[in-house]
């Protein structure tokens, strides 16, 4: 009896301070056609504490190196790599460093730079980011409780913000502070033009962390990309509006 062809692999990477369960509403939609792999970044979720290295993980390059190792371990061919929030830029770094490992990219709520710059709107001033990081340093748990509902949006559904706050509170505080600096002080705009991988950009209609202009910028600077704006509010549509994320991904993956 002939052996059934092996399903292609899809790897999903969660955003800052979260965990692989952020994808639990998205994963079931793809398990029939993909071998779906989720994981926790070092310092997040249930990741082995020994995997976190303060020096390695002081920049997104360290997380990208981790992700390259994961893809090499779980797949025997190029994967569909899905990143949410900062993991979108981690995925971009993987695709530029090892294009042989990535067949397609899906970037959900991406931002290459959170700080406004000349001719560029990232959504925050440098002073606002400095204050955010200072607050994290002074009272990480307090920051988590205040910022999670803002990041999640959907005030009529407080459970979304509560879940995000729970993720933040369970992350290692020191690792989270370093991850925050790598995230919010980073600038990956120049990396976008180096990507040659077909890419889907999924942008929420209203995103308090990565506004619509950012999604448009990412699309315009990725040579082989398509932008889909979904009718969602908040920075975590994979948690708050997973059906819309799934529909956008399915439509693009079936056509690409």
207 among known catalytic residues: yes
pLDDT digits (tens, 9 = 90+) for 147-159: 899 899 888 888 8
For residue 88, which of 236, 244, 251 has the smallest C-alpha distance? 236
100 among known catalytic residues: no
Answer for the pair 25, 49: CB distance below 8 angstroms, yes or no.
no
Distance CA 127, CA 72 (A): 40
Across the beta sheet with 9-13, what order do the strands follow? Answer: 35-38, 9-13, 79-84, 102-108, 199-206, 225-233
| Residue 256 confidence (pLDDT) above 90 | no
Backbone angles phi, psi at 104, to 5 degrees: -145, 150
Q: Which of 57, 84, 85, 144 is catalytic?
A: 85
Q: Which of 14, 41, 84, 235 is catalytic?
A: 235
Answer for the pair 111, 209: CB distance below 8 angstroms, yes or no.
yes
Average model confidence (pLDDT) across the chain: 94
Q: Which of 207, 219, 240, 241 is catalytic?
A: 207
Higher-pLDDT residue of 50 and 4 is 50
pLDDT digits (tens, 9 = 90+) for 233-254: 999 999 999 999 999 999 999 9
Answer for the pair 180, 15: CB distance below 8 angstroms, yes or no.
no
235 among known catalytic residues: yes
């Amino acid at each position: 009896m002939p052996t059934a062809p092996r399903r292609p692999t899809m790897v999903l990477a969660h955003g800052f301070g979260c965990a692989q369960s952020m994808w639990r509403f998205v994963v079931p939609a793809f398990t029939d056609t993909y071998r779906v792999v989720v994981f926790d970044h070092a310092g997040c979720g249930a990741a082995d504490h020994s995997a976190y290295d303060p020096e390695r993980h002081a920049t997104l390059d360290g997380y990208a190196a981790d992700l390259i190792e994961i893809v090499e371990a779980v797949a025997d061919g190029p994967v569909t790599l899905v990143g949410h929030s900062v993991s979108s830029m981690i995925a971009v770094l993987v695709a530029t460093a090892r294009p042989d490992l990535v067949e397609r990219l899906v970037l959900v709520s991406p931002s290459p730079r959170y700080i406004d710059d000349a001719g560029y709107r990232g959504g925050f001033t440098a002073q606002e980011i400095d204050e955010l990081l200072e607050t994290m340093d002074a009272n990480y748990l307090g920051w988590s409780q205040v910022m999670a509902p803002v990041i999640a949006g959907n005030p009529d559904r407080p459970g979304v913000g509560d879940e995000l706050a729970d993720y933040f509170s369970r992350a290692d505080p020191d690792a989270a502070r370093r991850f925050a600096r790598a995230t919010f002080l980073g600038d990956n705009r120049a990396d976008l033009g180096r990507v040659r991988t077909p890419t889907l950009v999924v942008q929420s209609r209203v995103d308090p962390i990565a506004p619509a202009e950012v999604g448009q910028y990412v699309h315009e600077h990725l040579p082989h990309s398509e932008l889909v704006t979904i009718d969602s509010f908040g920075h975590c549509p994979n948690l708050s509006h997973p059906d819309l994320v799934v529909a956008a991904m399915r439509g693009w993956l079936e056509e690409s």
